Amino acid sequence: MKGTILGFDPDTNTGALTGHDGIRYDFVRLEWRGAAAPPPGAAVDFIAQGSQAIQVYPVRAAHDPGEGETPKLVYILYLVSLAVGVTAIVGVIVAYVNRADAPEWVKTHYRFQIRTFWIGLLYGLVSLITMLILIGFLFGLFTLVWWIVRSAKGLQCLSRSEAYDSSATCRAVSAGTHRGKPQIELPRRNAGGAHEGECYRL
C-alpha cells in the first residue's frame, strides 16, 4: 500500500503514516527500510498489519534524465582530460556555472565533480613533486585509476537518473520509475544490523 509519513520521533524510534486508504498506521524504526530517518511528507510503500505498518520503504520522486545531460558532459570532459588535460578545466568551469540553478539531484553530481577536480589536482601535484622517487610513479598511477573510477561511477549514476551521494557511490535502486514501473530504495543490513542503502564507498 502507498502512503505518506506523518512524523517520526527519534527518541522513541516510532512514527506514524497515513495510507492512501485514509487510515493512520504506526510503525517502529526497525520496519523502516530507508537509509536515513523517515522525513515527514515522504512517500512510502508499506504493508498494513492491523493498525501497524511493516516493511515501510521510501518511494522517491522520478528524475528527468534530460537534466543530467550537462553533468554527463562534465564526466566525459574529465575522462578526455587524460589525453587532453585542458578539458578537465573546461569541465569544472561548467560544473561551477551550472551548479546554482540545477535540480538538487543534479547538484550532487556538480559538487562531486568539483571535489574530484581539486582533489585530483592536488594528487597530481604530489605525484609530480615525488616523481624523482618511486612513490611518485605509484601515486600517479593511483591518481589515474582514482580519476577514472570516480568519473565512471558518476556516469553510472546518471545513466540511472540517480543523485550522487556525497558519502557513497549510488547503487541504491533508483528513485522514480524504470520502464514504467515504480522503484523504491532497497536496503541492506550492515555488520551492526542497521539498515542502510546499497551503496559502495569510493
Q: What is the pLDDT of residues 155-173, one digit of tens each?
A: 998 888 888 865 444 543 3
- Both 54 and 128 in a single domain? no
Tell which residue, 174, 176, 187, has the closest CA to residue 33: 187
Average pLDDT over residues 119-141: 89
Per-residue model confidence (pLDDT) at position 189: 43
The mean pLDDT of 2-25, rounded to a whole number, is 94
Domain count, the chain: 2
Torsion angle, CA of 180/42/63/120, rounded to 10 degrees? -130
What's the pTM?
Answer: 0.57
- Range of the structural domain that residue 28 is part of: 2-62+172-197
The verdict on 55 and 72 lying in the same domain is: no
Note whether 155 and 72 are same-domain residues. Answer: yes
Q: Of the given ranges (17-21, 45-49, 141-145, 163-167), which has the lowest mean pLDDT?
A: 163-167
Tell me, yes or no, whether 202 lies in a domain: no
Q: How far is CA 156 from CA 83, 152, 169, in A?
A: 21, 6, 9
In-domain check, residue 165? no
By mean pLDDT, which of 24-38, 95-109, 126-140, 186-200 is the weakest?
A: 186-200
Are both 121 and 152 inside the same structural domain?
yes
Report DSSP state, residue 29. Answer: G
Residue-wise pLDDT tens digits, 176-186: 334 334 343 44
**Residue 9, burial from CB neighbour count under 10 angstroms (0-12, 13-18, 19+):** exposed
- Supply the pLDDT for residue 126: 92
